[in-house]
Structure 1
Amino acid sequence: MGLFARAKKRAGLLATAITADGLCAAIVTARSDGKAQVRAALWQAGVKPAAGLEKLHKDLQAASYRCTTLLGAADYQLLSLEAPNVPPEELKTAVGWRLKDMLDFPLADATIDVFDIPPDQNAPVRGKSVFAVAARNSAVSQRQGLYAAAKTGLAIIDIPEMAQRNIAALLETAGRGLAMLSFDADGGLLTVNFNAELYLSRRIDVKLAQLVDGSDDQKHQYYDKITLELQRSFDHFDRQFHFINVIKLVLAPTGADGLHGYLADNLYMPVEVLDLASVFDFGDVPHLQEAGSQARFFLTLGAALRQEAVAL
């Protein structure tokens, strides 16, 4: 996907996430001398996407920035598989055919992208695996159309896993793996990073609102479910990527109490709670100091850290 406009853009990336209850937007500027700076963070509750993007066009001068947007969990599937032994220019087509029976929608309705899962560099035989992203054409076209109608160029269409990877990469210890767990309206998302690369992604069917608003008994049921899913995922990861030592789990901001202590008591690895102020300079957006606000903007801020020119 290319840029729609060729005018010189302002520094920073403007990221949006469109949810069932509104639109989240953030502008982040990377700095070589310290934390990435958040220049703006805007939440529009209950707004329709077209109206929300029009407001961004006016209030944030969105057309003057490179823009990225996150797909929702229902808009795509992310699958890992063994890489086909084909020339690079044929990889997406070959992966598409392998995905044919794995998708919950027709292959003809999918936009495919592929990125590597780096192998063990010390293994005598390096088997190659890849992540395949299959996005619904309708979701991609709809997002392109919304931006075009708002007279705002769309440079990147991204997915939450990569946004979470971007933040996790800032917290890594050299030579060690790092697990990160976040929650939003689509549910829980577990990722594992190593050398700033994504190696594992798992969805957990527990939504942020359930952790915040549930009764004590309900919350403990959710905690049990989350803990079991994490244990299973880490066991699977250890078998598949035995060369990576995951040293800790980082829990993204939730605005909820209780989950951190429960996980710390029931997992074999250290569990830390992330304060996004440790990786971002919030400058003139003080509302991002609050955990609830950090939870809302978490993936949007992660998407705004991306510096590549294209995706999907």
Structure 2
Amino acid sequence: MAEDEFLIPPLRPGARIAVIAPAGPPKPGRLEPVEGWLNERGYQARLLPSCFGPPPLDFLAAPDAVRLADVHTAFGDPQFDAVLALRGGSGCIRLMDGIDLGLLAHTRKLLIGYSDLTVLHALRTQAGIPSLHAPMPASDWGLPGAQADTDALFDGLARGWRVGDVIGQAAPHALSHGGSARGQLIGGNLAMFCALLGTPFLPEVDGALLFIEDISEEPYRVDRMLSQLRLAGVLDRIAGLLVGSFSGAESADAVLADHLPKLRCPVLAGWPAGHGQPNRPLPLGVRARMDVASGRLTLI
């Protein structure tokens, strides 16, 4: 199959991957294995300066100028075939008004990451370019229980994604309801998606399939963010809602059970992606059909 038939082409053996840290710093011992991990999978890695600091604030991997320069280098330098975020955390949104949007719109290099990377995925979606919500090396790779997620990422990169692919399946869930919906997959981390409201960087929500997940958000904060999406009209405009994991805090199940049944659009809950495990790769910025009865997402 020709590569132009793929929505996300395979990442060929020997491809060179730029590793950037546009958000938070790695924890001790989590940076050193990254190059070896990528080499083991058949890729070449180059860790850009943001991965090495120094952090100007304890929640930032490096100064804004360094992290911004690495975003531009990773996407602009033709030696790189894909861009991998080292980890999430916080900091990507500080870069948004400095990013060369024209540069990002003229390269189809795959962006891989999740969490704080939600805002960079939004830029790719706005430009009509797919990206990948997927495990990151300093957050997930090599951790107990995460091997299946990492394997799924690299299997997908080797295979690519094309129209007709079933990209996952959710188990039956009490909060799932409705029939089917189709639209462009958008979203990611709920807090970061809400942070884009009122900015020029929010992707088109009309007729979209919105994916949400989060970590360490207490129920009252999840309630506030879902209320914000409702008051902003987002939940009335989307074609369907895809709900991943909410982990690392008191259970948000009661809040989700209060909000989700009120939505007029189909809801598919229990999707295997988010900060917990499983965290299977999910293409964003592509069109998909969501079928609640089967729990499947199919690229269209």
TM over 0.5: no
> What's the TM-score, normalizing by structure 2?
0.36
Query: Greater strand percent: which structure?
Result: 1
> What's the TM-score, normalizing by structure 1?
0.35
Q: Which has the higher contact order (CA 8 A, sep 6+)?
A: 1
Query: Greater helix percent: which structure?
Result: 1
Q: Which has the larger radius of gyration?
A: 1
